[in-house]
């Protein structure tokens, strides 16, 4: 039996059934996390990214690594630098949006201090846009609970070699994007406390699992997840990305409906998670992300942004600007006025 794809693939005809007019169209936005890739089964180009704005004022974006565009020759550890080169080739101001204003690439942290030349190669290739490394470590003992094709060993963030590699990031003022499941949040708490000078960004609200053994335990998962989130928020060097809930992992299964969800329906489902993160971290340490095209299988871009704007509806103007623009601009040193 073939395992399901880790995220629902976008269907243009289905997505077209759920277009919405943009709420607060003048709110400036940095999309804090998206991918661009040329994967045969799931291509996503800069042109598609721009089309997915759906009338929202996205002034800049942050490209997140997705194992694409790697070099095909040369030293193995330098092959991921090809993805930064690809991101630069796709970057720049396009119809009002500075695509890939910040680039988050991949480097093998198990190299320890030996990762230094790889980071220098990324910085050079990034032409002023390279901002950090993402190292995803989703792990669960039960394969049915895994929502990613990436599987790392348990306790990966405790590895002294990995921490030596992360120290090289810290030396260069680079950001570390972490991605793991909610069952691993305390691993990241330990890392953050052990390396208080390292800027850590927790991707996708900390990965609450809603499949496999957790499929019928949403309240229990929410309690465990929210406990981990509050612990993580106690670490001042950690910020969090608000989004990434459209994956198969999370178990909402919007892609199985006959029509896409409305922004109200998304806000009802995702709101408790996003609101908990905003309350725990504060607007100055939280930033909205689309996680497209991964989350595009769940809803159109305009609907996702409208959902976020509904959730932030009670925030002050300054708080809302931080969530949509300011936090990402500061954490990733984008230099936007």
> Following CA atoms 52, 296, 102, 195 in sequence, which dihedral angle do they give, to the nearest 10 degrees?
150
SS3 call for 6:
coil
The reported pLDDT for the residue numbered 115 is 99
The reported pLDDT for the residue numbered 126 is 99
Cβ neighbours around 246 below 10 Å, total: 26
Q: How confident is residue 154, by pLDDT bands cut at 50, 70 and 90?
A: confident
Residue of 101, 15, 98 lying closest to 58 (CA atoms): 98
Which tens digit of pLDDT belongs to each residue from 89-143?
999 999 999 999 999 999 999 999 999 999 999 999 999 999 999 998 887 877 7
pLDDT reading at 7 higher than 90: no
pLDDT reading at 265 higher than 90: yes
pLDDT reading at 150 higher than 90: no
Q: Which residues of 231-241 are buried (b: 16+ CB within 10 A; e: fewer)?
A: bbbebebbbbb
The reported pLDDT for the residue numbered 4 is 52
β-pairing, 199-202 vs 286-288, is unpaired
DSSP-assigned states of every residue in 173-194: T-EEEEE--GGGHHHHHHHHHH
Residue 205 — φ and ψ, nearest 5°? Answer: 45, 25
Q: Which residue has the higher pLDDT, 4 or 236?
A: 236
141: alpha, beta or left? (left if phi > 0; alpha if psi -120 to 50) = alpha
As a whole number, mean pLDDT of residues 285-289 equals 99
Q: How confident is residue 2, by pLDDT bands cut at 50, 70 and 90?
A: very low
Fold of 24-331: TIM Barrel (3.20.20)
As a whole number, mean pLDDT of residues 23-45 equals 93
The reported pLDDT for the residue numbered 28 is 99
Ranges of H-type helices in the chain: 12-15, 46-51, 81-90, 116-126, 160-171, 185-194, 218-233, 263-281, 301-311, 317-321, 327-331
Taking the mean position of all CA atoms in its chain, how far away is CA 314? 24
| Residue carrying the six token digits 């909402």 | 252
The reported pLDDT for the residue numbered 152 is 74
Any idea what DSSP says for residue 37?
B
Cβ proximity of 123 and 175 under 8 Å = no
* Mean pLDDT taken over the chain: 95
The reported pLDDT for the residue numbered 3 is 45
SS (H, E, C) 234-295: CCCCEEEEECCCCCHHHCCCHHHCCCCCCHHHHHHHHHHHHHHHHHHHCHHHEEECCCECHH
As a whole number, mean pLDDT of residues 76-95 equals 97
The reported pLDDT for the residue numbered 140 is 81
Please tell me whether the peptide bond between 155 and the residue prior to it is cis, using omega within 30 degrees of 0: no
The reported pLDDT for the residue numbered 5 is 58
Residue 202 — φ and ψ, nearest 5°? Answer: -85, 120
Measure the CA–CA gap between 128 and 243, rounded to whole angstroms.
Answer: 26
Which tens digit of pLDDT belongs to each residue from 164-179?
999 999 999 999 999 9
As a whole number, mean pLDDT of residues 292-320 equals 97
The reported pLDDT for the residue numbered 79 is 99
Q: How far apart are the first and last CA of the chain?
A: 52
Helix (H) or strand (E) holding 32: strand 28-34
């Amino acid at each position: 039996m073939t395992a399901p794809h880790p995220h629902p693939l976008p269907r243009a005809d289905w997505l077209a059934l759920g277009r919405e007019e943009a709420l607060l169209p003048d709110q400036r936005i940095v999309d804090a996390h998206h991918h661009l890739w040329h994967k045969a089964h799931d291509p996503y180009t800069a042109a598609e990214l721009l089309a997915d704005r759906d009338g929202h004022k996205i002034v800049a974006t942050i490209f997140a690594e997705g194992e694409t565009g790697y070099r095909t020759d040369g030293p193995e550890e330098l092959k991921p630098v090809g993805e930064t080169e690809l991101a630069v080739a796709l970057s720049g101001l396009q119809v009002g949006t500075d695509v890939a204003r910040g680039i988050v690439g991949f480097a093998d942290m198990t190299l320890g201090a030996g990762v230094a030349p790889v980071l220098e190669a990324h910085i050079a290739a990034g032409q002023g846009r390279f901002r950090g490394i993402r190292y995803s470590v989703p792990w669960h003992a039960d394969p049915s609970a895994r929502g990613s094709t990436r599987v790392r060993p348990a306790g990966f963030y405790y590895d002294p070699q990995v921490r030596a590699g992360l120290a090289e990031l810290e030396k260069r003022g680079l950001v570390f994007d972490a991605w793991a499941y909610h069952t691993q949040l305390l691993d990241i708490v330990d890392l953050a406390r052990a390396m208080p000078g390292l800027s850590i960004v927790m991707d996708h609200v900390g990965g609450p699992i809603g499949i496999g053994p957790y499929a019928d335990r949403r309240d229990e998962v929410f309690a465990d997840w929210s406990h981990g989130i509050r612990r993580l928020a106690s670490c001042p060097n950690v910020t969090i990305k608000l989004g990434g809930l459209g994956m198969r992992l999370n178990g909402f299964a919007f892609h199985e409906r006959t029509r896409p969800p409305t922004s109200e329906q998304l806000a009802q489902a995702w709101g408790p998670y996003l609101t908990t993160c905003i309350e725990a971290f504060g607007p100055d340490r939280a930033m909205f992300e689309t996680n497209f095209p991964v989350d595009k299988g769940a809803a159109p871009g305009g609907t996702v942004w409208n959902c976020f704007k509904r959730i932030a509806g009670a925030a002050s103007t300054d708080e809302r600007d931080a969530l949509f623009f300011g936090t990402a601009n500061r954490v990733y040193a984008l230099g936007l006025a």
